[in-house]
């Protein structure tokens, strides 16, 4: 694999290969010497044109654990603010002998545009990792989510998984559905109001539910999503209270799921909007382990792109 741009179309054995490679890397955290030499001498550029806490930081930790030199471009103080185009920025960073770009962008397809440009300008020795583009894809989030499910549930073939909330604007949901389908999860439920579901979502192989209690009945995994207010205009935007009443995950709604169901959230969470604190901090929540697994999974992805 040259770039990681999307989960869609990624073969099952590649996904499983990444999950397998990540497993021993989770154990590095407990060791005195946490570093591997995989990316020694390589320069990884973090280009985050949209805000991030978890993804940017765990990519930085992951690259440093692989001994890369990590450069975090501060977009607000970069020449992007003076009108420099994305591709001019790419060419200039390539001229600084970049080996890998980790990119988050508000425009769907921006990482693909970068990858095509690198190929067209014979610079495709530089790898591109999509760290979230618009509403389109967030492949490493989906991979760390699959790692988390496998860690807690062992197998995929016997699971019922519910994805709940603002599916329409969620790059995370799209990538999760592709990953769960490829890994053979037999039942994926999309729980959301009609206004927050993409048209034709059923064609992705999911069962749509508008009633949350009904949708959660008997599920093994609950994957919550944030209301993406920044991608909505007035008419579409539900009030936080209305949304919480119907689609907020509370202990009584969660009681419909299996007693050993796990609760996931990619973050950032809006407590009291899509999730109650009693659930977010409760015994079934695996939200913080998801973040920790993100380091090993991102190490595995960068290692794989570098040919390891
Ligand atoms: N899950 C996720 O992408 O979080 P950040 O926006 O903090 O990176």
pLDDT at 287: 98
What CATH number is given for 12-137+291-305 in this structure? 3.40.50.1370
Per-residue pLDDT reduced to its tens digit, 66-99:
999 999 998 988 999 899 999 999 999 999 999 9
Q: State the average pLDDT over residues 13-28.
A: 96
Distance 169 CA to ligand 1 centre (A): 14
Per-residue pLDDT reduced to its tens digit, 199-252:
999 999 999 999 999 999 999 999 999 998 877 766 667 789 999 999 999 999
Model's pTM, two decimal places? 0.97
Does ipTM come in above 0.85? yes
For 274, counting Cβ atoms within 10 Å of its Cβ (0-12 exposed, 13-18 middle, 19+ buried), the class is buried
Pick among 3.30.930.10, 3.40.50.1450, 3.40.50.1370, 3.40.50.1000: CATH of 139-286: 3.40.50.1370
> Domains of the chain: which residue ranges?
12-137+291-305, 139-286
pLDDT at 234: 64
Residues making up the annotated binding site for L-aspartate are 82, 171, 226
Same CATH fold assignment for domains 12-137+291-305 and 139-286:
yes
268 within ligand 1 shell (Cβ under 6 A): yes
pLDDT at 184: 98
Can you tell me the distance from the alpha carbon of 99 to that of 92, in angstroms, rounded to the nearest whole number? Answer: 13
pLDDT at 32: 79
Within the chain, residue ranges assigned H as helices are 12-26, 54-65, 86-95, 110-120, 139-153, 171-182, 212-216, 240-247, 251-254, 277-280, 287-305
Residues making up the annotated binding site for carbamoyl phosphate are 54-55, 104, 138, 141, 267-268
Q: State the average pLDDT over residues 246-267.
A: 98
Per-residue pLDDT reduced to its tens digit, 97-122:
999 999 999 999 999 999 999 999 99
């Amino acid at each position: 694999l040259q770039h990681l741009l999307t989960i869609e179309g990624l073969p099952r054995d590649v996904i499983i290969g990444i999950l397998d490679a990540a497993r021993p890397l989770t154990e590095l955290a407990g060791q005195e010497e946490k570093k591997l030499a995989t990316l020694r001498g390589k320069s990884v550029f973090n280009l985050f044109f949209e805000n991030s806490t978890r993804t940017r930081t765990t990519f930085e930790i992951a690259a440093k654990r692989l001994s890369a030199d990590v450069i975090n471009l501060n977009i607000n103080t970069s020449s992007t603010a003076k009108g420099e185009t994305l591709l001019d920025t790419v060419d200039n960073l390539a001229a600084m002998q970049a080996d890998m770009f980790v990119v988050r962008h508000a425009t769907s397809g921006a990482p693909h545009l970068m990858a095509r440009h690198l190929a067209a300008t014979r610079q495709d020795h530089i790898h591109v990792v999509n760290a979230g583009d618009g509403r389109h894809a967030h492949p490493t989030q989906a991979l760390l989510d699959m790692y988390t499910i496998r860690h807690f549930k062992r197998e995929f073939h016997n699971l019922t998984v519910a994805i709940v909330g603002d599916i329409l604007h969620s790059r995370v949901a799209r990538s999760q559905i592709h990953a769960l389908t490829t890994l053979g999860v037999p039942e994926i439920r999309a729980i959301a109001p009609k206004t927050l579901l993409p048209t034709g979502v059923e064609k992705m192989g999911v069962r749509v539910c508008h009633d949350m209690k009904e949708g959660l009945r008997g599920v093994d995994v609950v994957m919550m999503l944030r209301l993406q207010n920044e991608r909505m205009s007035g008419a579409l935007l539900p009030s936080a209270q209305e949304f919480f009443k119907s689609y907020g995950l509370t202990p009584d709604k969660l009681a419909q799921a299996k007693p050993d169901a796990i609760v996931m959230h990619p973050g950032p969470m809006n407590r009291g909007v899509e999730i109650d604190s009693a659930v977010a901090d409760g015994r079934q929540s695996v939200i913080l382990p998801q973040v920790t697994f993100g380091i090993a999974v991102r190490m595995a992805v960068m290692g794989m792109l570098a040919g390891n």
